[in-house]
Amino acid sequence: MRVCRENEPLSLGIGDLLIDKLTGNRGLLQRRYETTTTSKYNRGVWAWEIHWFYKGMSNMILNVHTASPKPQVIGFRHYAESELINSIIAGDMVLYKVKYNVHVQKG
C-alpha cells in the first residue's frame, strides 16, 4: 500500500485503507454504492461501506498460517463519498491506496 500524495488526483477504491487521525482507528473500504432517493428528479449520492478496526490492532491483515489474535472490530459504517474525500483533503483521515500487481497471471 502507499499513501495518497497531496498532488495526486483523489480516488477511492475497494481495499483502500483509511486511518482516522483523531482516533487512530483503521478502516477498509468494502463497497461503493449509490444511495436511493424518493425524488424522481434527484439522484442518490455515492456512498462507501467501511469495515472499521480499533487502533490497537497491531496487524491489520492477518496471516491465515499463524496463530494471530483476532482483530478488535468496530464494525461496518456507511459514509457519503464526498464526506470521505473532504475528510482526507482536510487532513482528518489518511488514505492508503491498494497497489495492485498488474503482472499477476490469471489461471
Q: Would you give the DSSP letter of residue 35?
A: P
**Confidence tier at 42 by pLDDT (50, 70, 90):** confident
Residue 1 has pLDDT above 70, yes or no: no
**Confidence tier at 32 by pLDDT (50, 70, 90):** very high
Instruction: Give the CA radius of gyration of the chain.
Output: 16
For residue 27, is it left (φ>0), alpha (ψ between -120 and 50) or beta? beta
- Which strand (E) or helix (H) includes residue 88? helix 81-90
Q: pTM, whole model, 2 decimals?
A: 0.68
Cα distance between residue 107 and residue 104, in whole Å:
9
How high is the pLDDT of residue 70? 55
Q: What is the pLDDT of residues 44-63, one digit of tens each?
A: 789 999 999 887 655 445 44
Cα distance between residue 23 and residue 35, in whole Å:
27
Q: What percent of the chain has pLDDT over 90?
A: 35
Strands (DSSP E) contained in 10-87 are 17-20, 26-34, 46-53, 73-80
